[in-house]
């Protein structure tokens, strides 16, 4: 029975989950950590690292074995994102988008043929991206202007997408467009678009404050013809696909922010134990102890919220409110904890050589993407009032 349903402690992991978590933690510390600074400065994910993510199975965690995946749970995806984020949230985002948005949507809404065609590739070599946002549709996700005109048996897509994570590395995109603007959100449809499709191109790459190794680009669609076999779900059901998928994605972002905060806290603790002032380690001063204790409390609270939402999803229980709560709290908490970690390290935390400087920059996006903090509060209010 799912731990959220059974009443068992949410932080208690099964033997399989604990082993998986330690495997990812070891990979992050030994394979990712040496590359973090170089990738951040180059604003590019290391190609060899991406291949190793596939080889370890982290790009197909929930994909069933019959399609070449690991047959894991959503909770496993959350654990992977958390462990990677403690070292580099940019790398974690690649894994997060692949699992909680792209593969998840195809598993839930794809036809058997779409699953047979796409899931083995996503598990083995193809990175996915989720293309919903546009210049005029951010928080108002369904104000999108990308059009899908029916011409004969095909849909011809025209429009622009902005702020698309994984865009430069991706070979498959879930693109949302409207087949009937007069129908409002009921005209929105999801399409499976491959990178080499005629009329499809990757545009400008954003120069970002944080998560710089993760590419964020514009997508350009000009007379991009898509066959009906590449409609995901039903025509006009894109709004439902987007909302259901983003609920899981918000838990993934909660896990990213949780891992980021834990990584920042661990750097702060290690520094406090080693740094000496007035003849003793600064960790021996009560003021520093209280600050670190408060940070640890916030991290544990976020962990419970994230794990609870993930367990509920795996148990096929309603989790929309819990997803909004964990995303809101974890993102607010991560920015606060990362900021305090910089202060604990003092001048050493303010320079580029310090990992907490990068984690502080990375934390800001948590309150923005996959639904701003204001949008999460609106969702929570709607659920509880």
User: C-alpha distances in angstroms, 306 versus 145, 259, 302, 319, 333?
Assistant: 33, 11, 6, 11, 12
Residue 5 has pLDDT above 70, yes or no: no
Taking Cα atoms as reference points, which of 212, 148, 153, 200 lies closest to residue 172?
200
Q: Which pLDDT tens digit goes with each residue over 116-151?
A: 999 999 999 999 999 999 999 878 877 899 999 999
d(Cα 163, Cα 343) in Å, to the nearest integer? 31
Residue 236 has pLDDT above 50, yes or no: yes
The catalytic site residues sit at 370
Q: Count H helices and E strands in the chain, helices first.
A: 13, 10
Q: Does the CA dihedral 315-318-324-325 come out positive or negative? A: negative
pLDDT at 341: 98
Q: Which helix (H) or strand (E) holds 276?
A: strand 276-277
**CA 228 from centroid of its chain's CA atoms:** 29
d(Cα 39, Cα 328) in Å, to the nearest integer? 28
Average pLDDT over residues 338-355: 97
Q: For residue 58, give both structure tokens.
A: 């982290």
pLDDT at 350: 97
Is residue 41 a contact partner of residue 208, using CB atoms and an 8 Å limit?
A: no
Average pLDDT over residues 173-186: 94
pLDDT above 90 covers a percentage of the chain that reads 94
d(Cα 240, Cα 176) in Å, to the nearest integer? 11
pLDDT above 70 covers a percentage of the chain that reads 97
Average pLDDT over residues 222-246: 96
Q: For residue 108, give both structure tokens.
A: 């839930």
Q: What single DSSP character describes residue 379? A: H
Q: Which pLDDT tens digit goes with each residue over 34-72?
A: 999 999 999 999 999 999 999 999 999 999 999 999 999
Taking Cα atoms as reference points, which of 176, 174, 163 lies closest to residue 369?
163
Average pLDDT over residues 330-336: 98
Beta bridge partners of 147: 158, 178
pLDDT bucket at 10, cuts 50 / 70 / 90: low
Phi and psi at 156, nearest 5°, equal -105, 115
Which domains does the chain possess?
3-126 (1.10.540.10), 130-236 (2.40.110.10), 240-384 (1.20.140.10)
Q: For residue 130, give both structure tokens.
A: 């989720």
d(Cα 148, Cα 189) in Å, to the nearest integer? 8
Residue 4 has pLDDT above 60, yes or no: no
d(Cα 310, Cα 317) in Å, to the nearest integer? 10
**CA 58 from centroid of its chain's CA atoms:** 13
Q: What single DSSP character describes residue 101? A: I
Q: In 110-260, where do the E strands start and end?
A: 127-131, 147-151, 154-165, 170-178, 188-194, 200-205, 216-226, 231-232
User: C-alpha distances in angstroms, 151 versus 179, 182, 376?
Assistant: 11, 18, 39
Q: What single DSSP character describes residue 133? A: -
User: C-alpha distances in angstroms, 369 versus 111, 145, 223, 246?
Assistant: 29, 20, 28, 11
Q: For residue 76, give both structure tokens.
A: 């496993």
Residue 8 has pLDDT above 80, yes or no: no
Phi and psi at 126, nearest 5°, equal -100, 125
The single residue listed with the structure tokens 């990375």 is 362
pLDDT at 143: 86
Residue 1 has pLDDT above 50, yes or no: no
pLDDT at 190: 98
Q: What is the mean pLDDT of the chain?
A: 96
Taking Cα atoms as reference points, which of 309, 328, 334, 325 lies closest to residue 373?
328
Is residue 177 a contact partner of residue 153, using CB atoms and an 8 Å limit?
A: no
């Amino acid at each position: 029975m799912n731990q959220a349903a059974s009443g068992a402690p949410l932080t208690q992991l099964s033997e399989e989950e604990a082993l998986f978590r330690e495997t990812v933690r070891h990979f992050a510390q030994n394979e990712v950590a040496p590359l973090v600074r170089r990738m951040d400065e180059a604003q590019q994910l290391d190609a060899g690292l991406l291949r190793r993510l596939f080889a370890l199975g982290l790009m197909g965690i929930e994909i069933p074995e019959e399609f070449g995946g690991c047959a894991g749970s959503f909770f496993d995806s959350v654990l992977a994102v958390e462990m990677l984020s403690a070292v580099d949230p940019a790398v974690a985002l690649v894994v997060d988008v692949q699992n909680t948005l792209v593969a998840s949507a195809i598993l839930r809404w794809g036809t058997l043929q779409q699953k047979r065609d796409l899931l083995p590739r996503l598990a083995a070599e193809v990175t996915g991206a989720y293309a919903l946002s546009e210049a005029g549709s951010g928080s108002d996700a369904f104000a999108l202007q990308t059009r899908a005109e029916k011409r004969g048996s095909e849909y011809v897509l025209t429009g622009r997408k902005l702020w698309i994570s994984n865009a430069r590395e991706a070979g498959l995109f879930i693109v949302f467009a409207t087949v009937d603007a007069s129908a409002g959100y009921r005209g929105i449809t999801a399409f499976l678009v491959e990178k080499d499709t005629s009329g499809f191109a990757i545009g400008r790459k954003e120069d970002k404050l944080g998560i710089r190794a993760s590419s964020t680009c514009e997508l350009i669609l000009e007379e991009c013809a898509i066959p009906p076999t590449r409609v995901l779900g039903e025509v006009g059901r894109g709004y439902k696909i987007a909302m259901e998928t983003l609920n899981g994605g918000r838990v993934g972002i909660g896990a990213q922010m949780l891992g980021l905060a834990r990584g920042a806290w661990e750097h702060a603790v290690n520094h406090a134990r080693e740094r000496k002032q007035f003849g003793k380690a600064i960790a021996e001063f009560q003021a520093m102890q209280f600050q670190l204790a408060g940070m640890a409390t916030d991290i544990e609270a976020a962990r419970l919220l994230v794990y609870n939402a993930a367990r509920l999803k795996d148990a096929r229980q309603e989790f929309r409110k819990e997803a909004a709560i964990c995303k809101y709290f974890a993102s607010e908490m991560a920015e606060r904890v990362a900021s305090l970690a910089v202060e604990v390290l003092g001048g050493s935390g303010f320079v580029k050589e310090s990992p907490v400087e990068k984690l502080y920059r990375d934390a800001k996006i948590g309150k923005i993407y996959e639904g701003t903090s204001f949008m999460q509060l609106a969702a929570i209010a709607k659920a509880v009032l």
